[in-house]
Structures are given as structure tokens and as C-alpha cells.
Chains A and B, each alone.
Chain A
Amino acid sequence: AQTVTQSQPEMSVQEAETVTLSCTYDTSESDYYLFWYKQPPSRQMILVIRQEAYKQQNATENRFSVNFQKAAKSFSLKISDSQLGDAAMYFCAYIPSNTGKLIFGQGTTLQVKP
């Protein structure tokens, strides 16, 4: 069965510092996509970053970047220069391109301290 695991239920970071959120996944597929979504207190899900498994280059979006290790099935999110507005729950997600089954991890709650 395909699974996504986020082993850190809660993390905290000082404003302006860097934090890394972990995600591992289990799959036998070779063609798939990975995502990080942010859920602020409003509970509206917001896409942070997307990674295509066939691309070796790690995706980046401004202060957000990933470390994609395909062989290790690891997909961590690095947030640089953390801001108060980054405080939210972060979800890692996976979808194989052949089934369309989009599944999520348990989430990591990020606290940003001023």
C-alpha cells in the first residue's frame, strides 16, 4: 500500500531562521508527483511546492525548497527566513500518475516564534 509518513507532529522555529520538515513515502511506482501543502488556521489548503519524480532537480519556490531523495523515498521541505505567516500545519502529499489517488501524510504543525 502506498503511504506518506510525516514523523514530526510539531516543530518550532525562530523568526528569520531555517526549519526543515520531514516526509517519507512508500511506493513501487516510478512515475509520481509529490507536494507540500500549507493549512493555516483558516483551514484553507494552499499549495506550497510541487516536485515531479522524474526530475532530479529539487523544486524551489522563493523561501521554500525541497530535498528530494528518490532512492530513499524522502521529500523534506526547507523553509528559509521563516516568517510569522508561515505558522500553519504542513502536509506532504503523493500521487502516482497512473491511478490519480492523491494521499496525504499526518501533517506537521509549525510554530514560528517572534
Chain B
Amino acid sequence: DGGITQSPKYLFRKEGQNVTLSCEQNLNHDAMYWYRQDPGQGLRLIYYSQIVNDFQKGDIAEGYSVSREKKESFPLTVTSAQKNPTAFYLCASSIQGRGESAFFGQGTRLTVV
């Protein structure tokens, strides 16, 4: 079945450690997105990519990094520079990022202790 997969569903890390969240899609979509969801703040865009080997900062990119070496994969690294990393993270993809509907993964809940 085609879809977008985020792993793991729950992730615990110690403060000061970098952690990488996985996002894989087999929909042959060019565009991929990472969002952070906090209570009362909706979905805030971290990074997005419309093509392999290219990506742009979203509205809250500080403390995060991404790569887009393969069309299917768009991993997100939460670095130690991110001051409040505990949140729910959602990955999405769309055909070209030109106005098509986006498909979402099931999310990763990151807790930093």
C-alpha cells in the first residue's frame, strides 16, 4: 500500500542529545514537509523540500536540520540547539507542492527528559 511512514511513534531522548526522526514515502511525491504541533499553536512549518537535494527553511527552522538525498526520504534532526524540542512532529508529502493535497504520516511524539 502506498503511504507515508514516520518512525518511531514515540521517542525519548536526554537533553543535549541530537535525535533524528524518520519520514519515508512510497507515493512518488516530489514535495515533503515537516511540521511541529504544540497545544494551541497549530502546525508550524519547520522545513520543506520540493525536489531531491533541495530544501527550504520554514517558519521555525532554528535548532533543526534536514536532508533530502532520496526522493522517498526526508529525515529531520532535532539538535541540541533546539531549546524546547518536546512536541508532536508530523511529516507530509504532496505530488509537486504546487497546490495538490498533502498526505500525512501518523506523527512522532518526541519527549526530551
Q: Which of B40, B43, B59, B97 contacts A100 (CB 8 A)?
A: B97
A102-B101 contact in complex given A6-B42, A43-B106, A91-B43, C-beta closer than 8 Å: no
- B43→A104 contact, CB < 8 A: yes
- B90→A95 contact, CB < 8 A: no
Which bracket fits the contact residues of B?
20 to 34
A residues less than 8 Å from B104 (CB atoms): 44-45
- The complex places the Cα of A73 from the Cα of B105 at a distance, in Å, of 29
Q: Which of B41, B92, B99 contacts A45 (CB 8 A)?
A: B92
- A50→B33 contact, CB < 8 A: no
Closest residue on chain A to residue B43 by CB atoms: A104
Indicate with 1 or 0, residue by residue over B75-113, a CB within 8 angstroms of chain A CB atoms: 000000000000010101010111101101011000000
A residues less than 8 Å from B50 (CB atoms): 100
| B63 at the binding interface (Cβ < 8 Å) | no
B residues less than 8 Å from A42 (CB atoms): 106
- B98→A97 contact, CB < 8 A: yes
| B45 at the binding interface (Cβ < 8 Å) | yes
Q: Which of A35, A43, A47, A104 contacts B42 (CB 8 A)?
A: A104
| B64 at the binding interface (Cβ < 8 Å) | no
| Interface of A: prevailing SS | loop
A91-B42 contact in complex given A101-B48, A102-B97, C-beta closer than 8 Å: yes
| A106 at the binding interface (Cβ < 8 Å) | yes
- The complex places the Cα of A97 from the Cα of B58 at a distance, in Å, of 16
- The complex places the Cα of A112 from the Cα of B90 at a distance, in Å, of 26
A106-B106 contact in complex given A45-B92, A95-B97, A100-B50, C-beta closer than 8 Å: no
- A102→B90 contact, CB < 8 A: no
| B26 at the binding interface (Cβ < 8 Å) | no
B residues less than 8 Å from A95 (CB atoms): 97-99
B residues less than 8 Å from A107 (CB atoms): 42-43
- B106→A33 contact, CB < 8 A: no
CB of A1, distance to nearest CB on chain B (Å): 8
B interface residue numbers (CB < 8 A to A): 31, 33, 35, 40-45, 48, 50, 56, 58-59, 88, 90, 92, 94, 96-99, 101-102, 104, 106-107
